Amino acid sequence: MTTAEAALKRRLRHMQWFATGLLVTVAILFVITSLLLPAYPWLAVVVAFSEAGMIGALADWFAVTALFRRPLGLPIPHTAIVPTRKKDIGEALARFIRDHFLTRDAVLPRLAEADLAARLGGWLARRDNARLVSRDLGRALNWLLDAVDSAELRQSLQSSLKRALDQASVSAGFGVILEVFTTGNHAQALVNHLVEVGRSQLAANEEKIRERIKDRSPWWLPRFVDEEIFSQLVGELQRILDEIGDDPTHAAREDFNRRLLALREALENDPVTIERGEVLSSEFLGHPAVKAYFDDLWRVVRGNLSDALDDAESPIRIGLERELSLIGNRLKQDTEIADTLNGWLRELVTYLVETYRQPLSEIVSDTIDSWDATATSERIELYIGRDLQFIRINGTIVGGLVGVAIYLAWGFLPL
């Protein structure tokens, strides 16, 4: 039992003792005045008051007690109403909530008066609240990362991605990439890079070229001839690379660009090239090294993102906080946006209410039905029993006054 419930129980017991004490008081008053009535006839009014008050107190005690338990433990019909009809009470309460609260007519006027957008904007505009929401968003995203990080879900996501790529045209994607390369200076920049790679590789492999020429030449050929062949070959290769690198209009550059265009055309229209592209894509995605790379990449990205979401001073959290504050201020200042958001919220809430009003009301009935009958009766009595004790008190006083009124009226009636 909570502290609040303990306090309610003390207040209930106090009122029960007070109401019972009042009943005992009028009962004692009835006995005393009845004994003194022969000597003091004027006590007849007091006798009438105490007698009727005692009857009213007993009747109301029975009525209040019968709500929660059987009076004096007797199996009187239609008593212990709350524990014996708990299920019916829960269903009736659920229907009442469904039919009178979870309706469009009941919800819309309150939503129209609430101005939810302005309240939300004012709340978010406060820095502490924006920080609180950014923290909760960070926790929610971290939870989502933990869920996605399960092996089964990752496998499912990989399968879904593969199916999506299988349905998409890989050749068309390559075609788009090639189109980007063939526009502007992208293709020429690639040629420049390839020329630099060729130069560096040629310089790095001069000794290997010299050794290869020496090994392939006849034994009787003089060595200075091998050196001349080497010099001519390497020099010619360097000259070609220099010409391509220095001449933006070189034929090799134009040929490279034509080949890219031809490949792009083939990827769009040639069935053989398209099929090869699809096979290449499937082999690439299915290669163990590619899978391992993406697994490692995911772990690194997930770890960094998780740490950033947990850190209140990280750029992500600070950015979230800043954007939430800006949204709050915008909602406060821009009435047009606020009105639009209010309209969306009204439609959303009314849709949810109309769609889920029955399941929501069933939560009430199912919850009450799951409660223990005795515990339910005690809990309800704990919260409303104190007010019901006033019925007993009022019954005692009102009953006594009615008794006096009847006595006086009877005295004035003609015999």
Tokens coding 389: 């004790």
Segment 112-122 shows an average pLDDT of 78
Would you list the domain boundaries of the chain?
3-84+371-412, 147-308
Least confident stretch, 59-73, 140-154, 311-325: 140-154
Q: Which of 296, 300, 342, 367 is CA-nearest to residue 94? A: 367
Q: 63-87: b or e for each residue (b if 16 or more CB lie within 10 Å)?
A: ebbbbbbeeeeeeeeebbebbeebe
- Provide the 8-state DSSP code for 3: H
Kindly state the percentage of the chain with pLDDT values over 90. 10
* pTM over the 0.85 mark: no
- Cβ contacts of residue 374 below 8 Å, gap of 6+? 83
Angstrom distance (rounded) from CA 10 to CA 17: 11
Q: Do 301 and 119 contact (CB within 8 A), yes or no?
A: no
Q: Is the pLDDT of residue 361 over 70?
A: yes
- Based on its alpha-carbon atoms, the radius of gyration of the chain, rounded to whole angstroms, reads 46
With contact defined as beta carbons under 8 Å apart, do 66 and 79 qualify? yes
> With the C-alpha atoms ordered 253, 258, 261, 263, is the resulting torsion angle positive or negative?
negative
Higher pLDDT, 411 or 143: 143
Taking only the tens place, the pLDDT of each residue in 251-305 is 887 777 777 777 767 766 767 766 676 666 666 666 777 677 777 776 777 788 7
* Averaged confidence pLDDT in the chain: 79
pLDDT for 21 beyond 90: yes
CA angle, 234 then 239 then 241, to 5° = 95
pLDDT digits 0-9 by tens, 174-233: 666 666 666 656 667 777 777 788 878 878 887 887 787 777 776 666 766 667 777 777
Distance CA(408)–CA(45), nearest Å, equals 8
Q: Is the pLDDT of residue 381 over 60?
A: yes
